[in-house]
Structure 1
Amino acid sequence: MVWTEGLDEPVMSGPVTSIEHVWDADNGGAGTVTFSGVSDEQILFGRTTYPIPGESIYNQTIDAAVGRGPVGKVITDLVNLNAGPGARGNRRVPGLVVEPSTLGQTVSWYSRLDNLGYKIKDLALANGVGWQVRQTTAGEIEFSVYTPRDFSASVLFSKEAGNLGGFSYKLTAPTATRFIAAAQGEGKWRYMRAYRDDGNGPELDPNEESGVYTVPESEWFTYWPELLIDRRDIPIAYNDLRHPVNPETGSETGDFEPLDDAVAEDALEAAPIAALSLTPFDLPTLKFGKHYRLGDTVSAVVNGAMITDVLREVRLSDGEEGARVTPLVGSSYASETPSIYREIKRVWNSLRKLEARR
């Protein structure tokens, strides 16, 4: 459990996963012991979503779990039924408690053998909520959903305010701005829809049928980089004219919401990334954990411009110069992780999704 001075709760917690003891000329005395571990969020990345969570894997008689509701309830239900007290006995995580939630907008959801952690991460990012896992002083592991607190007026980092020692920022171009979403089907009968994102989220490409070219408003490209989104797990019924239909009535009105939501999730990963790393001075009136925390909206003055965004990442260190906090704010996938690792992670996520849909 990792604590910061003046807080009654730990800022993070999790299991130790490796211990290394080195004794040599550079590590005298008793040597150097290094403990490494992961945060308790890792629990959820070690679980798979069952189509019927209450049944054995041998009795999964439906293709997928589907539903509609507030995103907070969707996330907490997925966690509760696949890892929490509501899960089958052999899949429960000891000590895990799930706080009920009805936060956020109403969403349609679809899950088949997904990685639980990635599934709820995508749902949260696409719908403006966050989630966290913390050990409590009572020894429980508590899962909760929250909406970002807006501290943009009170938590302000700037050289003029005397609480900012430095900054660095990085902008990265999108990997795709046009998306071809392929739903269930085979060959020429596979149903597909084209979307494009001009910076305000994906929408149906208005020029797909006409073929008219429109210059993107994006500052990055003068063309539309494309990405195929394989969602063969989402069924869309259609007639001989290839028009979507309601499978119950036969009328030419189909339900595209699950496909729209899937595109919105993948478009977040492909979106441009803005990451601002701050080196603040920890003042009595502005301390991490006490006055602001992960998931809050904060502000900073950079090159004379006011930047307001969500605090996505915090690096904590403690050495000879004392404790140090390095916050990172920016767009949904903002991170200081090197680009090569982010690209490998993207490929891995795509493969993982494909495995779950077979």
Structure 2
Amino acid sequence: MASDMPYEILVYKGWEFKGWVGRPLDLKPTIRHNLKSTATFDIDADHLRAADLMEPGARVKIYRHGEYQMSGPVRLVGGDFSQAAKLTFSVEDDFRILNNWLAWPKPTAPLTGQDVEYRTITGPAETVVKTVMAEAAARLGFPLTVAPSLGRGASGTYTFRFHPAYDRLFPAVDQAGIGVTVRQEGAGLLLDCYTPRVYAHHLSAESGTLIGGTYSLAAPNATRVVVGGQGEGVAREFKGFSDGARESDWTDIIEVFQDARDSSVGDVYATRAAETLADGAALAGLSLELSETKHFRYGGSGLRVGDWVTANIRGQLYTDVLREAQLSWDKGGDKATPVIGERKDDSDAKLAKSIRALKRDNTDRMTR
């Protein structure tokens, strides 16, 4: 591999290694914290690995500067019939199993034996994630290894009734203070958790660590939550929760409703309210272009997805989680753009979030 090529793409058919894509025409991975990472890359149509990548079951692993970034299946192939034809491959990270596997009310029983309405689990976030995913893998007969739980993350109560696991685990798991990873390991996948680091240095243009970027600051869209529990009509239970400090800071009151019909456990009401208030908090979103050197860069001992990062923007300090890193490589060179916090002005992110919320509500209605 050429010394100026920082990436390595390993190609697999299922779990069987086939070879390398030594030098793609371009590569654009987007690595995310507690969300499915994605990547696209282009190669010449006559590339040695083209046929392997177009086979059903094609998978890749992607490394940057020798450090693992993501693994997952090729989900889309595109091309044209021109003389200088190229092929474009789209890859989804193996984190996708959290979106694709359902959490059954009684995972050890067949469909005819689902004699409980909801599965309720209370415990540290890491333990809940690993329990739910290990049970799903056993039910599906899928080669998923789940690392032993260290009990990390705040304790919470989670309920499931044929929901995609992700829809019930998040954002609570994220707010509990842990990250989840799924990667190809041998002839299967490995699921584990990590505790986000606090990045020790402040990023700023003055320090030379930033060469550009954009930011957005958004006011909160929820200060009070009415949680609706079980029951019908006048018999239905409701509880109210509010963030007094937020209302005082912003001189504003914004009420929202959150359904919690799936459980009669009082703790669930408080959990749903906390999730809703966290989701509606004020947001500072930063998209930053790094000035990478041998002493400072994304990856390795430098910045990593999941880190708590502080950036100095026009004299104001903003601290949030590094949610994603938009990486790219082409003939123009290597580039890393970390996104800290959540960008309110990112239309793609807003659309994806709205679709997830709609799907979650539809699942709640369909499985009752």
Normalising by the smaller structure, the TM-score range is 0.7 to 0.9
Whole-Å separation in 1 of the counterparts to 2:101 and 2:279: 22
CA shift digits 1:304-351 (9 cap, x unpaired): 2333321111111112221111101125x8784446515632542442
Q: 1:335 to 1:290 in 2, by over 3 A?
A: farther
The amino acid of 1:46's aligned partner reads N
Whole-Å separation in 1 of the counterparts to 2:244 and 2:133: 34
**How many residues end up aligned between the 2 structures?**
306
The amino acid of 2:147's aligned partner reads E
Is contact 1:97–1:143 with CA below 8 Å preserved after alignment? yes
The amino acid of 2:313's aligned partner reads V
Displacement, 1:110?
A: 2.2
Is contact 1:233–1:357 with CA below 8 Å preserved after alignment? no
Whole-Å separation in 1 of the counterparts to 2:101 and 2:110: 14
Whichever structure has more strand as a proportion of its residues is: 2
The amino acid of 2:217's aligned partner reads L
Q: 1:78 to 1:295 in 2, by over 3 A?
A: same
Whole-Å separation in 2 of the counterparts to 1:189 and 1:174: 32
Is contact 1:184–1:234 with CA below 8 Å preserved after alignment? yes
Aligned to 2:81, what secondary structure does the other structure show? strand
Moved more, 48-57 or 348-357: 348-357
Q: Which residue does 1:194 correspond to in 2?
A: 240
Is contact 2:167–2:360 with CA below 8 Å preserved after alignment? no
CA shift digits 1:133-153 (9 cap, x unpaired): 1223x34321111111122x2
**TM-score, normalising length from structure 2?**
0.77
Alignment equivalent of 1:315, drawn from 313, 320, 326: 326
The amino acid of 2:115's aligned partner reads T
Whole-Å separation in 2 of the counterparts to 1:233 and 1:294: 33
Is contact 2:225–2:276 with CA below 8 Å preserved after alignment? no
Displacement, 1:287?
A: 2.3
Whole-Å separation in 2 of the counterparts to 1:226 and 1:164: 39
**TM-score, normalising length from structure 1?**
0.79
Structure 1, unpaired ranges of 5+: 201-215, 236-254
Q: Which residue does 1:227 correspond to in 2?
A: 256
Q: 1:268 to 1:115 in 2, by over 3 A?
A: farther
Q: Which residue does 2:198 correspond to in 1?
A: 150
Q: 1:66 to 1:176 in 2, by over 3 A?
A: same
Moved more, 314-323 or 120-129: 120-129
Give yes or no for the alignment of 1:22 onto 2:86.
no
Aligned to 1:179, what secondary structure does the other structure show? strand
Aligned to 2:72, what secondary structure does the other structure show? coil
Q: Which residue does 1:176 correspond to in 2?
A: 222
Write out aligned runs for 1:73-112 (5 A).
Answer: 73-83=127-137, 87-88=138-139, 91-94=140-143, 96-101=144-149, 102-112=151-161
Displacement, 1:129?
A: 1.4
Aligned to 2:198, what secondary structure does the other structure show? coil
Whole-Å separation in 1 of the counterparts to 2:362 and 2:277: 17
RMSD: 2.3
Displacement, 1:2?
A: 1.7
Q: Which residue does 1:288 correspond to in 2?
A: 298
Q: 1:79 to 1:356 in 2, by over 3 A?
A: farther
Q: Which residue does 1:305 correspond to in 2?
A: 316
The amino acid of 1:37's aligned partner reads V
Displacement, 1:356?
A: 5.6
Aligned to 2:286, what secondary structure does the other structure show? strand
Q: Which residue does 1:271 correspond to in 2?
A: 281
Calculate percent identity across the aligned residue pairs: 29
Give every structure 1 segment of 4 or more consecutive aligned residues whose post-TM-superposition deviation is greater than 3 Å: 333-340
Q: Which residue does 1:140 correspond to in 2?
A: 188
The amino acid of 1:14's aligned partner reads G
Whole-Å separation in 2 of the counterparts to 1:169 and 1:192: 38
Whole-Å separation in 2 of the counterparts to 1:44 and 1:343: 16
Aligned to 1:42, what secondary structure does the other structure show? helix
Q: 1:357 to 1:266 in 2, by over 3 A?
A: farther
Displacement, 1:357?
A: 5.1
Q: Which residue does 1:239 correspond to in 2?
A: none
Displacement, 1:273?
A: 2.4
Aligned to 1:67, what secondary structure does the other structure show? strand
Structure 2, unpaired ranges of 5+: 1-60
Q: Which residue does 2:23 correspond to in 1?
A: none
Alignment equivalent of 2:95, drawn from 24, 34, 41: 41
Alignment equivalent of 2:171, drawn from 94, 101, 122: 122
The amino acid of 2:261's aligned partner reads R
Displacement, 1:13?
A: 1.3
Is contact 1:126–1:264 with CA below 8 Å preserved after alignment? no
